[in-house]
Structure 1
Amino acid sequence: MHETLRLEEELKKHFHYQTFRPGQREIIHDVLQGESVLGILPTGSGKSVCYQLPALLLEGLTIVISPLISLMIDQVKELKAKNYKRAVALNSFVTYAERQLIMEQLHHYQLLYISPELLQQDQVIKRLSQLKISLFVIDEAHCISQWGHDFRPDYLKLGTVIQRLNNPPVLALSATATPAVQADIIKSLNRPEITKRIYPMDRDNLAFVIQDVSSDQEKLELLTFYLKKHYGPALIYFSSRIQAENLAHILSEKLPELNVAFYHGGMEPIDRIQIQQQFMNNQIDVICCTSAFGMGINKHNIRLIIHYHLPSQMEAYIQEVGRAGRDGKPSICLLLYGRYDTAIPKSIIENELPESGEIRVIMQQLQIWGEQGIELTKETINTLYELFQMSEIKWRFLRFHFEKHGMIRGKKVVYQAEQWRNIYDHLVNWIHSRSLYKMQELQEMVSWAESAGCLREQLYKKFQSGYDTPIFECCSNCGIDLEQWETQALLPSQRKETDWRLKLQKLLLGVKHEAK
């Protein structure tokens, strides 16, 4: 009881929250006891508090692996606004001079956000290994798993990095992880004794609607109708960058009263961060985006999530719709489903990782370089990209496995004929298994979209037994009239008036302060 009261007091003192949300106290207690924890909490449940509070209470440095630069920037900004000064981020946006200064002063910080790519640099690991690491946090931990919906090759090296940092306790967090993904995370981190804190991921304030369509023109008409009625803030998810951009332009013309923008991974980082900040500050009403947007976004009043394209996995869908209604108020998750929509996710699955032919020619080129004594430098790697039109993600994936199996040591290529044949077979089989799994997941998503039963029950049944009674409406199959639903978002005119008044108030307060 004493421990519980103390944690409640610390929560109020540092974060001004009156009580913990389900799962937070238990995870924090485990972490403070020095245990490694796998925490699966629903979107919007406050996963960040599970490591931010311990970072304040533990001696030493807490490292947080974060997949998005914009997420790091937002979290550090929010912490400093709460007088949490000893937090810092290291990523590609930090200049070399700033990075060196941060590295020198790391012993003064309690919380370090860092990208998985930067953490692979020897000088960074060497510096961190000199410090007391009290906790190693992996945010969006499903990125580790080959079965995860957002698998990222850079996360595969984290198990080795943890060992080089003297095996600190690990906190792996995710909102969506099936039992298979959970097992894969634990195996990759080599933490068989990890404490598992798994909580139901259903959200009782979300209503699910699937609307059958026969063409993209019908989708556009429906988008225009619903956005006229419901305003914003709203997110529209696409599987195609080009279509996200095109629809953003079309909707801007059709709905001049709304501010519509697009967001995807092909944009410059500074542009992505600007769009995200404008959306957070209510300067943008609607974002047409790919899955690159939304991870860790803590905007409470998103009322409408629309999927223009069919997601490839249940986990991805649950993650994306979970950005709606984080304030607990009723919100709508609308999928515009055309049976022709499976073509895009199938193409994405087929092109996500290298094909057998690509692996073969890459290995042949590496063999030539190895026999000629040519080292792997930025120039030679760029030659690989140009020769074989290979994406950086594919190369990172291959390089990880080549290094893991001893084909590449540092910058040198080490050729052994029989070993290379075995590695080739292993990679081809591994990629085939993942593609087959992803295709099965896509078929599961199609079956859900075409189901006549309760959508909520079908959505969550692979993750948990049962779900909470919805506080608003359940789903379109259980009966919901979307045309009668009224959003609680501000009208554009009201929102703009509020916006300029606040800005003027801040400006005048600033002038008065300077005058003193």
Structure 2
Amino acid sequence: MANHSKLEEHLRTYFNHSQFRDGQKDIIQSILNGRHTLATLPTGSGKSITYQLPALITEGITVVVSPLISLMVDQVKILKSKGIKKVAAINSLVDEKAKQKILNNINEYKLIYCSPEMLQQERVIARLKQVNVSYLVIDEAHCISQWGHEFRTDYMKLHTIFKQLKEPTVLALSATATPQVQDDIIKHLQIKMDKILYPIDRPNITLSVKKVEDQKHKEESLKELLHNNHVPTMVYFSSRQVSEEVARKLQQQFPNRKVAYYHGGMDQDERLLIQQQFMYDQLDVICCTSAFGMGVDKANIRLIIHYHMPSNLESYIQEVGRAGRDDEHSVATMLYQPGDETIPFQLISQELPNDDELEWFISERLNGNEVEGLSETKERFLKFQLELNSNIRDHHDLNSALKKVRDERLQVKRESILKMLSWLHYSRCRREALYQSFQDGVKNATTYCCDYCDFNLDNWTFPNQMVDHKITFYWEKRLDAIFNRR
């Protein structure tokens, strides 16, 4: 039985923190008392401590389910750097030999990070069933909900995992769960849960939207923003190609700044290097897609710029939440030109199968054939829907059932884009409008609130800025040097 009368002492011992941040202690005490808990905390507020500390002071193993491989890798690395060695990750990046070694020695660990896909593997579950699992932690719990912006079919199976692991205490965490999503999470887990809901807005981040006429003016606005503000900066793009093109232009325009691009199409080595360079202040500006940032806990990011609009408010909240994790004043601005919304509409249509792909997939599977060539997201969606509709054997009926679900998902995604677009054009406090679906009211801004209330981006610069330095290598050349590439 864990002793939680000395939680602050444990916090100092394991994490070298003198006090808990808002919400952390309440959540920790709840699960230490054996209560299944659904909790919301802002992005960057230290959610991981709410399960890491209980894991370290409780007998048994804590299984952490996360869809973010980069986050798993970082969490394991950070814990080991603090001297906490009894931690491991099981995901698609771990080779078979290392995976088997972890499973063979599973009793030696206190924390096991696991992707939801890995928990579908019989040997992983079989091994976990042999040990005492104290806590089942579901990170990014909104992935369970069909209304969530990152709905993942494997998350829908976590109730079965919960039963197989002999019903450990569950902690479901999210920074972007609306009341509807919260109820959906509890419904799918099929357990009674206490809710510990803290406001998810970040009062130290000023929100702004700059509307531009066309692409030329957007590029000029970006250049001006970076010229006036030499601070750690992330620029978000919806297109890999555009992120590369803009990064190269910025390298030419700002020869004394260290600029790089980052997206999911790059090699793992390249991505890891960029991530580490940015973390340790060896890069000034990252031009990235949403693939960057989920596992990056850099405290001093000051400026978040959205070159393209995200497809939903939840993604926007998470992405601006990369800024100001040291609680210092930071700014998030979006550069919007008419027609920008066409990009997210195109992207969502590519995420789900079209009519021809549906027809082909069903025909092949009903004939007992494996299907190759679909994207991972399309294949995952179709396989899960086939499982749910396994009682339907008629080709036409199955096709109709899957089309209906597909169209419902598309409609949810379209409505999310329209909400994002409405937020861009609101004529009232941006922070209130952004968070109104998630909570009642917002905290008072610590510096400036938003461009509607009290902030003018064009007449403002950060008071404390970095000093320019001469660049001898761009990051591509550093990669060549490190990996001996020609």
> Which TM-score band (shorter chain)?
over 0.9
Letter in 1 for 2:386: F
User: Secondary structure at 1:72's aligned position in 2?
Assistant: helix
Partner SS, residue 440 of structure 1? helix
1:203-214 to structure 2, matched below 5 A, reads 203-214=202-213
Q: Deviations over 1:436-461 (max 9, x none)?
A: 22222211211211122111111111
What TM-score results when the alignment is normalised by the length of structure 1? 0.87
- The residue correspondences of 1:37-116 to structure 2 (distance < 5 A) are 37-116=37-116
Q: Which aligned pairs between 1:188-267 and structure 2 lie closer than 5 A?
A: 188-191=188-191, 193-267=192-266
Distance 1:489 1:68, change over 3 A: farther
| Alignment equivalent of 2:371, drawn from 356, 381, 386 | 381
112-121 or 195-204, which deviates more: 112-121
Equivalent AA in structure 2 for residue 392 of structure 1:
E
Instruction: Report if aligned partners of 1:301, 1:489 keep a CA contact under 8 Å in 2.
Output: no
Cα distance in 1, alignment partners of residues 309 and 138 from structure 2 = 28
Residue 424 of structure 1 corresponds to 399
Gaps of 5+ in 1: 375-379, 408-414, 497-516
> Structure 2 CA distance, aligned partners of 1:196 and 1:104?
36
Aligned length in residues = 470
Q: Which residue does the alignment assign to 2:304?
A: 305
SS at structure 1 position matched to 2:341: helix
1:307 positional shift: 0.4
Deviations 1:37-64 (A, max 9, x none): 1111011110000010010111111011
Listed one character per residue, the Cα deviations across residues 422-480 of structure 1 (whole Å, up to 9, x for unaligned) are 44333322222222222222112112111221111111112111111111111111232
Q: CA 1:494/1:44 → structure 2, altered by over 3 Å: closer, same or farther? A: farther
User: Could you tell me whether the CA contact under 8 Å between 2:175 and 2:200 is conserved in 1?
Assistant: yes
The aligned residue for residue 22 of structure 2 is 22
Deviation at 1:489, TM superposition (A): 4.2
Q: Displacement of 1:304 after TM fit? A: 0.2
Aligned CA-pair RMSD = 2.0
| Larger helix fraction of residues | 1
**Shift of the alpha carbon at 1:170?**
1.3
Deviation at 1:4, TM superposition (A): 6.6
Residue 142 of structure 1 aligns to a residue whose secondary structure is: helix
CA deviation vs aligned residue, 1:196-215 (integer Å, no higher than 9, x gap): 11111111111111100111
Q: Tell me the distance in 1 between the aligned counterparts of 2:183 and 2:396.
A: 29
Cα distance change of structure 1 residues 117 and 274 upon mapping to structure 2, 3 Å threshold: farther
Residue deviations 1:253-312 (CA, integer Å, cap 9, x gap): 211211111222222333222221111111121111111211142111000000001112
Report the CA distance between 1:88 and its aligned residue.
1.2
Q: Report whether the alignment pairs 1:285 with 2:261.
A: no
Read off the aligned partner of 1:131 and give its amino acid letter.
Answer: V
Give the superposition deviation at 1:391: 0.9
Contact 1:301 1:327 in 2 (8 A): yes
Aligned to 2:173: 173
1:3 Cα deviation after fit:
7.3
Query: Match of 2:460?
Result: 484
Residue in structure 2 matched with residue 349 of structure 1 by the alignment: 348
CA contact (8 A) 1:55 1:62 kept: yes
Query: How high is the TM-score relative to the length of structure 2?
Result: 0.92
Moved more, 89-98 or 460-469: 89-98
Cα deviation code 1:96-124 (max 9, x no counterpart): 22211111111010001122222221111
Decide whether the 8 Å contact of 1:303 with 1:489 is kept in 2: no
Partner of 1:35: 35
Query: How many angstroms apart in 2 are the aligned matches of 1:287 and 1:149?
Result: 24
Task: Write the letter of the residue equivalent to 2:83.
Answer: N
Q: Distance in 1 between matches of 2:438 and 2:217?
A: 33
Q: CA deviation at 1:28?
A: 0.5
**Conservation of the 8 A alpha-carbon contact between 1:307 and 1:336:** yes
Report if aligned partners of 2:72, 2:295 keep a CA contact under 8 Å in 1. Answer: no
The match for 2:444 is 469
Report the residue type matching 1:177 in the other structure: A
